[in-house]
């Protein structure tokens, strides 16, 4: 609140629930459903998400339907996501889980290693974040494919578009990165059927949303030996429940939703700039199409 | 041998010890001291190393002193090294050892995370490989410094040159990458004294040579809590002895000298091209200065 107030001189910035007169609230920045029934803010002009995802706003039945929803496009968030995805793609590409198992047994054995050009990485979701990850992976020489609703057109990335192309996309993928937005079409998209389409010994990096993944189906695919590993940063329930099998599964790496961090010093200017644009009648950055969901 | 023979039509390529008449041998490609006394090859024109390092040739007292020594500059080798270094820098930057410890205890807790621009990576050795690593780290936004004999001049990299600058270089370093050549000046350079100059909680990535590091001094620095972690791909004795404390140390990651792999499809053309150049009287690529040691 302090940082936003400093970035928006002349504007009264308050933290919920201390919002004062509801009719005086013009802009809301929110995460989760903390604010409950948003319709009581009768003069709300914009709903800003405090994250890259907006499903928490669009999925709220008490949302005023005609108020524009804007997602956060934060350079630090993008940087963090690229770091995390790159780190884990390299971890699987360079067979680090196998070397860790060897170390635990005191085994010195070189494993065969393919060049990056022979390693097929598949990225689901080619928006701001997926494109950023694809670009750096291409630069490092990986064989990268992207799957999205409309055909991705990034130099060096093999594009797959729409449900009809999903099977072909998965069939070529050894390391799968999920960066889809969560929409009614993508909930549960990573289930037994789609995971079975991946290459044998494929690995999954889920940095989208927990609800993209049917968690029990992933456990079954890991236990059957079809998938070799999974790095999960997002979960159906967060924090991940104390007794969830992911915590102790030898093929699963759990991180507590930290892949991309929202930093005050980059998120606040992004929101402040959109407030300025809105008040000046200029187009805002990151306006969401509610029908599409992202 | 088969691949090299195919790349060098008209040249008789043989595997040691089946070298035939010693006086007929003009070129030798070698690793380690397998060939023993090289002086019996009276007409030897070039000694090619099968790796990026040449200390195994220069350190052989039975080497014919006037025969040029050429190191291997293999694009696949460079790619592999960049992948490995980037992977481990990101691993420490993103606090993965701490998240792994949390996972083992079932703890969901976000840790503070700095932006790459606030993460100081130091690279010792700014040759072919060090420069390649520095470039990609700079591109990802890290605060990179390089230490070498002559001042490194890579855009975006803070250069430190010579012994006098070593303390200042180490004092700013949170993640140290060793890519020095092994020479009489660099043997044992990573000892109690230099490790103590690193930032508290610094991490070491040793991908140079095992003998750059005084292994007992590293263990002491890890156990005292001064250093937070080490990734070691090279060791004083390889394979690493069965009972070496590195295998089981909780802060040490061991890999079996696999950071940069020499691939047949890229190493053979590099050697064949140098043979062609030598026969055509053109300068070879990677000729070593024996006095300098690299």
Tell me the ipTM for this assembly: 0.92
CA distance A141 to B45: 36
Cα angle B61, B67, B69 (rounded to 5 degrees) comes to 80
Q: What angle do CA A63, A67, A73 make, to 5 degrees?
A: 95
Residue A202 tokens read as: 């494929």
- Specify the length of chain A in residues: 294
Cα separation, A30 vs A211, in Å, equals 20
At CB < 8 A and 24+ separation, what contacts does A115-119 make?
A115/A141, A115/B76, A115/B79, A115/B263, A116/A140, A116/A141, A116/A142, A116/A143, A116/B79, A116/B83, A117/A141, A117/A142, A117/A143, A118/A143, A119/A93, A119/A143, A119/A174, A119/A175
Classify the C-alpha dihedral A240-A241-A242-A247 as positive or negative: negative
pLDDT at position A274:
97
| Residue numbers in A near B96 (CB within 8 A) | 87, 255
Sequence-distant (≥ 6) Cβ neighbours of residue A22 within 8 angstroms: A40, A41, A42
Q: Is the peptide bond before B152 cis (omega within 30 degrees of 0)?
A: no
- Between CA A158 and CA A162 the distance in angstroms is 14
| Span B25-76, pLDDT tens digits | 999 999 876 667 888 899 999 999 998 889 989 988 888 999 999 999 998 9
Catalytic center residues of B:
209, 257
Residue of higher predicted confidence among A165 and A40:
A165
List the catalytic residue out of A94, A172, A244, A257: A257
Weakest mean pLDDT among A48-62, A183-197, B233-247: A48-62
How many Å lie between the alpha carbon of A103 and the closest alpha carbon of chain B?
6
Determine, for residues A257 and B111 on separate chains, whether the beta-carbon distance falls below 8 Å.
Answer: no
pLDDT of residue B33: 66
Query: B146-183 pLDDT, tens per residue?
Result: 999 988 788 999 999 999 999 999 999 999 999 999 99
CA angle, residues B207, A91, B196, in degrees to nearest 5? 40
CA distances from A24 to A42, A146, A272 (A): 8, 44, 18
pLDDT at A116 (0 to 100): 96
Percent of chain B with pLDDT over 70: 99
Q: Which residues of A touch B114 (CB under 8 A)?
A: none
Maximum CA extent, chain B: 69
- Using CB atoms, pick whichever of A110, A140, A263 lies closest to residue B115: A263
Task: Judge: B108–A238 Cβ closer than 8 Å, yes or no.
Answer: yes
CB B221 within 8 Å of CB B193: no
Question: Do A94 and B82 count as a contact with CB atoms less than 8 A apart?
Answer: no
Closest chain A residue by Cα to residue B96: A255
Q: Which of A256, A259, A262, A264 has the most B C-beta neighbours within 10 Å, making it the best mutation to test the interface with B?
A: A256
With H, G, I as helix, E, B as strand and everything else as coil, classify residue B30.
strand
Q: pLDDT, tens digit, for every residue of B236-279? A: 999 999 999 999 999 999 999 999 988 888 899 999 999 999 99
- Beta bridge partners, B175, equal B121, B203
- Determine the residue of chain A that is closest to B93 in CA distance: A83
How many other CB atoms are there within 10 angstroms of residue B211's CB atom? 18
Mean pLDDT of chain B: 95
Distances (CA, A) of B113 to A16, A76, A77, B141, B199: 26, 11, 12, 14, 17
Of A83, A94, A96, the CB nearest to B140: A83
For chain A, what percent of residues have pLDDT higher than 90?
Answer: 86
Say what the pLDDT of residue A17 is: 86
In sequence order, the β-bridge partners of residue B161 are B148
How much is the pTM?
A: 0.93
Task: Say which residues have a Cβ less than 8 Å from residue B9's Cβ, sequence separation at least 6.
Answer: none
Question: What's the pLDDT at A33?
Answer: 66
């Amino acid at each position: 609140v302090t940082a936003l107030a400093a970035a928006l001189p002349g504007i009264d910035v308050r933290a919920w629930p201390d919002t004062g007169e509801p009719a005086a609230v013009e802009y809301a920045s929110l995460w989760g459903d903390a604010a409950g029934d948003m319709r009581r803010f009768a003069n709300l002009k914009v709903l800003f998400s405090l994250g890259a995802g907006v499903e928490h706003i669009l999925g709220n039945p008490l949302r005023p339907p005609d108020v524009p929803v804007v997602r956060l496009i934060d350079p630090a968030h993008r940087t963090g996501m690229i770091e995390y995805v790159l780190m884990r793609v390299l971890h699987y590409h360079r067979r680090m889980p196998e070397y860790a198992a060897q170390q635990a047994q005191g085994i010195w054995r070189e494993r065969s290693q393919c060049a990056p050009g022979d390693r097929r990485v598949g990225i689901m979701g080619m928006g701001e974040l997926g494109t950023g990850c694809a670009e750096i992976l291409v630069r490092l020489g990986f064989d990268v494919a992207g799957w999205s609703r409309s055909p991705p057109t990034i130099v060096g990335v093999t594009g797959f578009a729409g449900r009809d192309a999903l099977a072909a996309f998965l069939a070529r993928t050894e390391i799968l990165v999920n960066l889809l937005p969560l929409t009614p079409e993508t909930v549960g998209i990573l289930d037994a059927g789609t995971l079975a389409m991946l290459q044998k010994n494929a690995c999954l990096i889920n940095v989208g949303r927990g609800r993209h993944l049917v968690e029990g189906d992933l456990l079954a695919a890991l236990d059957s030996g079809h998938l070799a590993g999974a790095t999960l940063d997002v979960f159906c329930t967060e924090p991940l429940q104390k007794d969830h099998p992911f915590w102790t599964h030898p093929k699963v790496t759990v991180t507590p939703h930290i892949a991309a961090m929202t930093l005050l010093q980059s998120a606040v200017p992004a929101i402040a700039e959109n407030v300025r644009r809105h008040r000046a009648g200029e187009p805002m950055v990151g306006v969401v199409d509610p029908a599409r969901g992202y």
